Amino acid sequence: MKTKDKIKEIRKEIDKIDLKILELLNLRAKKVKSIFEEKDKNKIPFFDPSREKKIVDKLQKFNKGPLTRKDIEIIMDGIFKVYRSINKPLTIAYFGPSGTFTHQAALKRFGEKSVYVPCRTIENVFKEVEKERVDYGVVPIENSSEGVVTHTLDMFLESDVEITSEILLKIHHYLLSKEKSIQKIKKIYSHSQAFAQCQKWIEEHLKNAILIETESTSTAAERVKKERNSASIGSEIGAKIYNLNILAEKIEDFKENITRFLVIGRSSPEESGNDKTSILFSIKDRVGALHDMLVPFKEYNINLTRIESRPSKKKAWEYVFFVDFIGHKNNEKVKKALAKLKKNCIFLKILGSYPQAE
């Protein structure tokens, strides 16, 4: 058989398989619609990251190839994004405007079918979720090179939202301008964190440029769109949204530049088998107090992944501590550790348990 004829025959088989896949996808869609109708009646959140993780884990376990584990994850992620909005689109607030890295993170988690609401401040994202004007919110929490986003931590002190999910996004910075040559740039606009993450590159390539801070990378792009001899540091998607030229790409100083974002909602999911929990607590001011707070985690072999302190804003030199650890709040060991911790706290607040991002 000639090569062309062989390919033709194989393609006929693929066409039959595709029709079967379509039939199964529609059957799955009907089942998902039925579940969402039941959830809607009982006010149960549509987004269930722990269930999604269990599905992916199970399929990866039974997968015999040639698809890889990552292939399975990518395929199912696309399916989840479509099916989540099968009855009605999810509404997602994010720290905006459009084109920011938080916007990218929201798109990565929820896909194109959701409705997105940009917010000028992190506080506004929390308020939109609290007042039930949106289903979920997306906010930045920490960057691998620049550390924690303190304003997000502070909002958890004041708000009763819960962490539903986390998103890890690899951050690449681009120099954007209406100009076509880097030699014409005299001013650079961007967010303070973007400047910090590109400090060495700026010093090497545009050390005489005036640096002007803006509230977001997208605000910077908007300014540059109207000005000559100026550039902004932002995302690749920002270049498309604001119709700007990319004069230099991936200008971040550290190539492993990752930002972690949190999805906030009004409830946290059930156990997925690979979870993280976030808490905050305040302690009495005495010698060894913080050490005593950490002992229960060691006693029950619970791995702490992050600890941060912030002023309580209620009393001078009084601090609250934010802790992330591996495990779910419904796990027996975690329950026992938190019960011991609570005895020595002024207050303890569980911010949520959610599947750990890989």
Length of the chain measured in residues: 358
Report cis status (omega within 30 of 0) of the bond before 66.
yes
Catalytic residue among 100, 219, 259, 277: 259
Helix (H, G, I), strand (E, B) or coil at 98: coil
In the chain, DSSP assigns E strands to 91-95, 115-119, 136-143, 147-148, 162-170, 174-177, 187-190, 210-213, 230-234, 245-249, 258-265, 275-283, 304-311, 319-326, 345-355
Of 286, 344, 285, the residue nearest 316 (C-alpha): 285
Distance from C-alpha of 267 to C-alpha of 352, rounded to nearest angstrom: 8
Is-contact 117 92, C-beta < 8 A?
yes
Catalytic residue among 47, 80, 101, 261: 261
Is-contact 293 345, C-beta < 8 A?
yes
- The token pair at 350 is 């569980």
Is-contact 123 149, C-beta < 8 A?
no
What does DSSP assign to residue 184? G
Instruction: Verify whether residue 156 is a known catalytic residue.
Output: no
Instruction: Verify whether residue 217 is a known catalytic residue.
Output: no
Burial of 216 by CB count in 10 Å (0-12 exposed, 13-18 middle, 19+ buried)? buried
Classify 126 in phi/psi space as left (phi over 0), alpha (psi -120 to 50) or beta: alpha
| Active site amino acids | 259, 261
